[in-house]
Amino acid sequence: MKLVAVTSCPTGIAHTYMAAESLEQAAKAAGHTITVETQGAGGADPVPADVIAAADAVIFAADVEVRGRERFIGKALVTAPVKRAINAGPELIEEAVHAAEAGSPEAAATPAAAPHSATARPAGAHRDVLAGLTTKVDKDAHFGTRLRQWLMTGVSYMIPFVAAGGILIAISFIWGGPQVASKVFGGTFHGHTYHPVITGIESFDVSAVLHAAGYAGLLFLIGKVAFFMLVPVLSGFIAYAMADRMGLVPGFVAGLIATATGAGFLGGLIGGLLAGTAVLAVKRVRVPRAFAGIMPVVVIPLLSTAFVGVIMAVVVARPVAAATTAMTNWLHGLSGANAAVLGLLLGAMMAFDLGGPVNKVAYTFGLAGLASGNTKVMAAVMVAGMTPPIALALACVVRKRLFTPAERTAGEAAWLLGLSFITEGAIPFAAADPLRVIPSMMAGSAAAGALSMAFGVTSLAPHGGIWVIGLIGRPLLYLVAIAAGVVVSAVCVIVLKSLRRTEPAEPTGTRADATNATSEPVAVGA
């Protein structure tokens, strides 16, 4: 049996390693293989993602929070205090083997590692795939893959900020009316001119805000503060994905410089990558022993931050700020046919890989729009992402015989997934019959995206599908765009599948995929 374990303790110099050794000895004695990640003071050497994927069970022998525990989601899990691993290693190994065989409450194998476990609990398997997309950085992968993983790590840490900030701002608008923004920051709304209460979120007088705009104004301001963090968090965690904790300081600083200079998202992306690179470069320098102790705390953050800060401010900021402004103006100026073309393109991207990297690029574009105040792009991306699962669910109902029993089960769940903007609900269908399903889905999503842009539908929420309809501008047209996309996709997929002569057989892999869709994937992205 293949096991992985994480050991950690408060000081990180003794128990962490004793537990690791004890587990390794016990596993060896019992004829299992084990890979242990020691999260100690010497820094952790992470277990490679493929080893985790192949593992049957996971042991957390930890007295402090396990870092990166999302990497292990969906695995049969045994947790214990670190001392138990030292005192009773064999017992713990036995429990892990037991958990793997029984399928613990959280447990499931990945579909690739154990096709036979499809009947057990594939719920976690699906989550595993999702978690992998957003946080895993595979050190052996190609540069292109790693670059995407770095960026996705940054994006996945940023999304909750978008959600919290966006929804707070939306609530403040619903509560205090759309003039809340003008009441706080000053400006003219419907002929009424307001004096600015504050000039920026760096310093504000709470009582003045409350006096001018009430608690709705305060919520608006809090939402703005969360938004202010977007680019620094993005940039900081890109650098974190590249260079671990030491990347955070130059990453955050670079992101703040990007925000302050108007270089925005694009500047943050570049800043994060620069920061990660700088830390990795400084780490390579061999230093005299005397300095070794202060390297991670003083020297590396100091040098990398100074370097990245200067590069950002002097080289990157101005051209990127200009490009960002141009793009923002372009997006704001888009209307009619041009806007529809953008919606068409983003919609097709959303359905191209149904939750994969192309989908994430389109989704990130929507987030970037939202953060820079363009809520139309977000709405177009959302309708395009909701369409595929709903269309397939509809097709299953209309033309039952075109789908395998497993697909029909997946179809029942796909209603809810689609309505919740979880595009991955379409994956079981696409996996079984990609050549017919994916083009059909792209057609419908492109139509939905184009219509949404043409209608000028807006969304203040970055996620949530039908459940955030209260935050949608022009909600009826929003529903129209979704319905139109659903009809296009459903008709396309029915026609394409009907053209096929052979009876649908049940391919072996489908059942696992289909049941995946009935699970409850985490909503990290579209």
Partner 1 sequence: MTNSIITPELVDLDLDAADRRSATRELALRLVKQGRVTELDGFLADVRKREEQMPTGIEGGIGIPHARSAFVTQPTLAFARSEAGVDFGAPDGPAHLIFLIAAPDGGDSEHMTILAALARRLVHASFREALAAAPDAKAVVDVVTKEVLGQ
Positions marked active-site: 9
Which residues, 6+ apart, have CB-to-CB distance to 137 below 8 Å? 146, 149, 150, 153, 241, 242
Residues from 317 through 356 that contact partner 1 (CB under 8 A): none
Residue closer to partner 1, measured from CB, 27 or 257: 27
Binding window for partner 1 (CB under 8 A); candidates: 17-25, 121-129, 133-141, 152-160 = 17-25
Closest separation in Å from C-beta 343 to partner 1: 51
CA–CA gap between residue 334 and residue 135 (Å, rounded) = 34
Binding window for partner 1 (CB under 8 A); candidates: 40-48, 95-103, 317-325, 494-502 = 40-48
Closest separation in Å from C-beta 6 to partner 1: 15
Binding window for partner 1 (CB under 8 A); candidates: 8-16, 182-190, 326-334, 406-414 = 8-16
- The correct pick among 1, 25, 67, 171 for binding partner 1 (CB under 8 A) is 25
Count of other CB atoms within 10 angstroms of residue 193 = 9
- The correct pick among 3, 6, 8, 38 for binding partner 1 (CB under 8 A) is 38
Closest separation in Å from C-beta 317 to partner 1: 33
The count of residues interacting with partner 1 (CB under 8 A) is 30
- The correct pick among 3, 6, 8, 40 for binding partner 1 (CB under 8 A) is 40
Residue 83, sorted as left (phi over 0), alpha (psi -120 to 50) or beta, turns out to be: alpha
Residue closer to partner 1, measured from CB, 62 or 384: 62
Does 29 bind partner 1 (CB under 8 A)? Our answer is: no
Closest separation in Å from C-beta 10 to partner 1: 5
Closest separation in Å from C-beta 4 to partner 1: 18
Do residues 444 and 388 touch, judged by C-beta distance below 8 A?
yes
Does 12 bind partner 1 (CB under 8 A)? Our answer is: yes
CA–CA gap between residue 107 and residue 256 (Å, rounded) = 41
Residue closer to partner 1, measured from CB, 41 or 337: 41
Nearest to 128 by CA among 148, 112, 146: 112
Does 46 bind partner 1 (CB under 8 A)? Our answer is: no
Residues from 61 through 100 that contact partner 1 (CB under 8 A): 63, 81, 83, 86-87, 89
Please report the DSSP string for 236-258 in residue order: HHHHHHHHGGGGHHHHHHHHHHH
Residue closer to partner 1, measured from CB, 160 or 296: 296
Nearest to 374 by CA among 403, 427, 418, 335: 335
CA–centroid distance for 193 within its chain: 40
Angle at 432 between CA 426 and CA 434, to 5 degrees: 75
- Taking the alpha carbons of 494, 497, 503, 504 in that order, is the dihedral positive or negative? negative
Helix (H) or strand (E) holding 76: strand 76-80
Task: Name residue, tokens 């570049």.
Answer: 270
Closest separation in Å from C-beta 381 to partner 1: 43
Closest separation in Å from C-beta 2 to partner 1: 21
Does 18 bind partner 1 (CB under 8 A)? Our answer is: yes
Query: Which neighbouring-strand residues pair with 4?
Result: 35, 58
Residue closer to partner 1, measured from CB, 59 or 270: 59
Do residues 438 and 489 touch, judged by C-beta distance below 8 A?
no
CA–CA gap between residue 17 and residue 23 (Å, rounded) = 10
Residue closer to partner 1, measured from CB, 27 or 493: 27
Does 245 bind partner 1 (CB under 8 A)? Our answer is: no
Residues from 259 through 318 that contact partner 1 (CB under 8 A): 292-297
- The correct pick among 29, 42, 91, 319 for binding partner 1 (CB under 8 A) is 42
Please report the DSSP string for 106-168 in residue order: T----TTT-GGGGGT-THHHHHHHHHHHHH---TTS-HHHHHHHHHHHHHHHHHHHHHHHHHH
Binding window for partner 1 (CB under 8 A); candidates: 13-21, 188-196, 218-226, 411-419 = 13-21
Closest separation in Å from C-beta 90 to partner 1: 12
Q: Is 439 helix (H, G, I), strand (E, B) or coil?
A: helix
Q: Which residues bind partner 1 (CB under 8 A)?
A: 10-18, 20-22, 25, 38, 40-43, 63, 81, 83, 86-87, 89, 292-297
